Structure 1
Amino acid sequence: MPEGDTVWRAARDLDKALHGRELTRCDIRVPRFATVDFTGRTVKDVVARGKHLLIRVEDEWSIHSHLKMEGLWHVYPKGGKWRRPAFKARCILETGASTVVGFELGFLRVIPQDQEHDAVGYLGPDLLGPDWDPEEALRRLRSDPGRPIGLALLDQRNLAGIGNVYRCELCFLAGEHPLTPVGDVRNLPRMVELAHRLLEVNKDRSTRVTTGSLLRDPLWVYGRTDRGCLRCGTRVVRSEIGDNELEQRVLYHCPHCQPARVPA
């Protein structure tokens, strides 16, 4: 599942393949932008912003994408065989040496670079970005103390880069039930610090690990309804949470390690 670390790696790999290189092919397979052609133009850089990715091309244009649930970017040697079917490709960029393909992207658009702030400026501090600011992330989280921590962590306006896996694992590691109000979380600064640490240590890995065990059990509770909590063995509860019916996301927690606290 794409989260901030996935997008960071994609930006790193695409930047390595495209930075400073002239495009020999540009095929954007989204109806609204199908006539856009950057062939002959040079890519300035590729950057991640939370879960968003920006490919900046000379003459001040940006190809702005978001992976959503299924999207991914691949880099191939020029003429190399693709690992996904061509009908799933939404963007194809080629240089003299490489082919970059975006498959099943959640959305893809072309915007002037001076509009990037309108596109991603609402995001909170990027956990893997140069602007990472834990105090600002805390301020944003605390601005709505009654909101469940399980929703607040996933809100990219608070801090950018956390997806569903990290949300569930962070609540577990903090010993907090996902429905605990932000204002009742016992050590919110530690939780924010841990979020930053987890994404940092995982940004260079293809397998996401929160337990320290890469080979055996990489996650504590996420997806473990059949195997139980890795710490205590209690059956992991699978539920859903969201701000409304259209935004419900799967949630995993251990009722023993993360008991719901009864208000005093």
Structure 2
Amino acid sequence: MPEGDAVWRTARRLHQGLAGRLLEGSDLRVPAHATADLAGRRTLEVVPRGKHLLHRVEGDVTVHSHLRMEGSWRVHPVARRHALGRRHTVRALLWTGTRVAVGDSLGMLDLVRTSEEHRVVGHLGPDLLDPGYDPVLALANVVSDLTRTITEACLDQRNVAGMGTIFTAEPLFLLGINPWTRVGELTEEQVGDLLTTARRLLVLSCRAGRTTITGRGDVNEDDAWVHGRVGLPCKRCGTTVRVAPIGVQPQQRVMFSCPTCQGGRAPTDDGRPQSPLGHRRERSS
């Protein structure tokens, strides 16, 4: 699922392509809104809210979408509208005289009144990429249940919005915290540092134009400390990075960590050898 930085970049791309321009047509391919027509309305802005996208147009209307696992929004020259629209996975087309925004494989798409956006995003905690981010409220939310693992608490978008597995695994590694640590085993200062670090990394990725942990321009697919690096040596200590499930269904995820740098293997790790992801990486010894 795209994380806060990817959603922020998507919102920026849509905003730059459509904001201030009059929509000449729309095609929302979901039953509830299949007859909706946004033609004649001007795009006011497109903003992210956690992992949600809010495309606000004139007349108190917001096109609300969520990318989920496979979704994307792209902006193309309007001449490509008919060709792109033939794809069976396309869920939305919004076009001006020069541009068409194509929503493909969207996990969620609906129309709401802009004045009632709280119906779809009001449950979210403070957004780490919001200029008005409230760190005090975010901290209070995360530490409200001391029995949860810190990973589950951070991934719960009701506590803090924008963190996914990347921007949870990487700050945990940088701070030497085991992902399976219970919230009650950490100090509020540690949790606050974790959220601050996650926000810093998200902002860095937004500025870089790609998901990045180090910020280095010469790093491509391995720009991470632990996320996605299962079976490879830790960049700090050389121990093999491991992955294990965390949480319960349907919210269960997998989390990457270094057993040495982060205080031991996961309780859900069976200890069997783990191979690296992808065919271009060599397995560590």
How many Å apart are 1:260 and its aligned residue? 4.4
Task: Write the distance in 2 (CA, Å) between the matches of 1:135 and 1:249.
Answer: 27
Deviations along 1:102-137, one digit per CA (max 9) or x if unpaired, are 111111111112220121111111111132011111
Report whether the alignment pairs 1:197 with 2:204. Answer: no
Identity %: 45
Counterpart residue identity of residue 263, structure 2? P
What is the DSSP-based 3-state SS (H/G/I as helix, E as strand, rest coil) of the residue aligned with 1:163? coil
Matched residues, number? 260
**2:163 maps to which residue?**
162
Report whether the alignment pairs 1:27 with 2:27. Answer: yes
Deviations along 1:113-164, one digit per CA (max 9) or x if unpaired, are 2220121111111111132011111111111122100111111111110111
Task: State which of 247, 251, 255 in structure 1 corresponds to 2:251.
Answer: 247
How many Å apart are 1:83 and its aligned residue? 8.1
Q: Within 5 A, what are the aligned runs for 1:126-165?
A: 126-165=127-166
Report whether the alignment pairs 1:71 with 2:74. Answer: no
TM-score under structure 2 length normalisation: 0.86
How many Å apart are 1:54 and its aligned residue? 0.6
Moved more, 228-237 or 3-12: 228-237
What is the DSSP-based 3-state SS (H/G/I as helix, E as strand, rest coil) of the residue aligned with 2:5? helix
What is the DSSP-based 3-state SS (H/G/I as helix, E as strand, rest coil) of the residue aligned with 1:124? coil
What is the DSSP-based 3-state SS (H/G/I as helix, E as strand, rest coil) of the residue aligned with 1:86? coil
Task: Write the distance in 1 (CA, Å) between the matches of 2:209 and 2:90.
Answer: 22
What is the DSSP-based 3-state SS (H/G/I as helix, E as strand, rest coil) of the residue aligned with 1:109? strand
Q: Residue 207 of structure 1 contacts residue 214 of structure 1 at CA under 8 Å; is this kept in 2? A: no
Q: Within 5 A, what are the aligned runs for 1:52-71?
A: 52-71=52-71
Q: Residue 204 of structure 2 contacts residue 215 of structure 2 at CA under 8 Å; is this kept in 1? A: no
Deviations along 1:63-95, one digit per CA (max 9) or x if unpaired, are 100111111110112214878972221110100
Alpha carbons of 1:69 and 1:258: their partners in 2 closer, same or farther (altered >3 Å)?
A: same
**1:228 maps to which residue?**
233
Q: Residue 19 of structure 2 contacts residue 46 of structure 2 at CA under 8 Å; is this kept in 1? A: yes
Structure 1 alignment gaps of length 5 or more? none
Counterpart residue identity of residue 253, structure 2? R
Counterpart residue identity of residue 178, structure 2? H
Task: Write the distance in 1 (CA, Å) between the matches of 2:85 and 2:142.
Answer: 39
Task: Write the distance in 2 (CA, Å) between the matches of 1:83 and 1:208.
Answer: 27
How many Å apart are 1:44 and its aligned residue? 1.6
What is the DSSP-based 3-state SS (H/G/I as helix, E as strand, rest coil) of the residue aligned with 2:70? coil
How many Å apart are 1:221 and its aligned residue? 0.5
**1:100 maps to which residue?**
101
Deviations along 1:150-204, one digit per CA (max 9) or x if unpaired, are 1111111111101111111121111111111112225222111111111111113
TM-score under structure 1 length normalisation: 0.92
What is the DSSP-based 3-state SS (H/G/I as helix, E as strand, rest coil) of the residue aligned with 1:246? coil
Task: Write the distance in 2 (CA, Å) between the matches of 1:236 and 1:206.
Answer: 27
Task: Write the distance in 2 (CA, Å) between the matches of 1:230 and 1:36.
Answer: 52
What is the DSSP-based 3-state SS (H/G/I as helix, E as strand, rest coil) of the residue aligned with 1:233? coil
**2:282 maps to which residue?**
none
Report whether the alignment pairs 1:258 with 2:262. Answer: yes
Q: Residue 61 of structure 1 contacts residue 110 of structure 1 at CA under 8 Å; is this kept in 2? A: yes
Task: Write the distance in 2 (CA, Å) between the matches of 1:236 and 1:214.
Answer: 24
Task: Write the distance in 2 (CA, Å) between the matches of 1:115 and 1:40.
Answer: 22
